[in-house]
Structure 1
Amino acid sequence: MTSVIEKAASQGVHSLSPHLVCAGAADAIEFYKNAFGAEELMRLAGADGRIMHGCVRINGSSVMLVDEAPDWGLSGPKALGGTPVTLHLVVEDADAAAARAVEAGATLVMPVADMFWGDRYGLVEDPFGHRWSVSTPVREMSAEEIQMAAKDAMCGEAAAPA
């Protein structure tokens, strides 16, 4: 017997997927194609043309989308004054990924740089108010090494692990 998780996976949807509310979900789908190489899996538009449900795949992971609908309690980050959520995207080349996203219309929030935990990492905000970190692991580090590097980065001095 096929589990519900296996059934969803056969349709390209993971058992945990972000579901983004966007002012202009159709435009967001196109942006994600251009910025992150998304593959569109589904688009269901209502009679008024708004996206009732959309789904794309980015780096093998499903991301669902819906248009803002305040009457249904669906508001995107811009309507809410920002987002506390960052979507983390592991990529082959963080510099190229951030540049591609900016070229597609994202705003660079944090330039890509080498981070103390061993990744090249940067942060962009898409035109719909969602934040995306792009990260390329470049150096494997133990938990203890990361902790020491964090103390050095935050306090300016290396300290022994706790």
Structure 2
Amino acid sequence: MLKLDPYLNFDGTCEEAFNFYRSVFGGEFKGGIMRMKDVEGMDVPQAFKDRVMHVSLPVGNDLLMGSDTIPGMGNPFQAGNNNYISITADSREEADRLFNGLSAGGEIEMPMEDMFWGDYFGSLKDRFGVMWMISSPSGQQMM
């Protein structure tokens, strides 16, 4: 079974935005707020170490997820390109199938690989300009 969740990026205002969303939807952040400085070995300029690496807020049966961007790393932040659709697949094979299908004719942002938080993960922009995150849980999960 696939699960789709929205994933939002911000330019340093993720925590403020998610506190606002929490005031509207209620609930608590799943796993708290992970900051850039919390990731061992991540080379982030000092000025950005307190930015949000990941946050997720349960909304009904779904998750609203988000993070801050770091200038100079990845796609530059621009209002309008800060939305992803996150798909959680049941297996690595299904994650690879979805990633390969969606990336055909598009741009790979991050190839599928094992991540420090325990998931098999990749991201891309499809040929229509839609941003996607594909993951398959394995072991400890942050989301």
Q: Same fold (TM over 0.5)?
A: no
Q: Give the TM-score normalised by the residue count of structure 2.
A: 0.41
Larger Rg belongs to: 1
Higher relative contact order (CA 8 A, sep 6+): 2
Which structure has the highest helix share of the two?
1
